[in-house]
Structure 1
Amino acid sequence: MSDKLNDLLERLKTQQRMLILAMAEHAGLPAGSALRQVSELENVIAAVEAVAAEEVDRARRNT
């Protein structure tokens, strides 16, 4: 996996953890809105992981 993808994935996971912690701290936050944000972030993380896996596969085939 490229360094850029690794960095992006780590930033996304950090953002996800921060969002979950913020939800726990601010019980007044509309649950639907916060859960939707977490869900969207999880989708982005999954997409980045899929791109990274494709990159690894492509690199493996070219060696």
Structure 2
Amino acid sequence: MHEKLQSLRVRLLSAQRELIKAAAEAGTIPSDNMMRKIADMEVTIGALEAMIEDEKAN
């Protein structure tokens, strides 16, 4: 399960970075939808990292 969680984390980080790059390249303030997606990914990444740490501890 650890490998699957790590893989998902990497995919989400990559997707989040691409959204942030797209927002930066647009030269305007990102839409509410884009900011929400970035924030939601951040929360999910944090949850994954917590699960990964819990697995390491057990």
Q: TM-score range by the shorter chain?
A: 0.7 to 0.9
**1:44 and 2:49 aligned:** no
CA distance in 2, matches of 1:45, 1:30: 21
Q: What is the identity percentage for the equivalent residue pairs of Structure 1 and Structure 2?
A: 36
- Ranges of 4+ aligned residues in structure 1 off by more than 6 Å: none
Structure 1 position 30, deviation (Å): 4.8
**Residue matched to 1:14:** 14
Distance apart, 1:47 and its partner CA? 0.8
TM-score by length of 2: 0.81
C-alpha distance 21-30 of structure 1, shift in aligned 2 (>3 A): closer
Asked which structure has the greater CA Rg, the reply is 1
What residue ranges of structure 2 are gaps of 5+ in the alignment?
none
CA distance in structure 2 between the partners assigned to 1:33 and 1:26 by the alignment:
14
Over aligned residue pairs, what C-alpha RMSD do you find?
1.9
Instruction: Please report how far the alpha carbon of residue 29 of structure 1 lies from its aligned counterpart in structure 2 after TM superposition.
Output: 7.0
Q: After the TM superposition, which of the residue ranges 22-31 and 34-43 deviates more from structure 2? A: 22-31
Aligned length in residues: 58
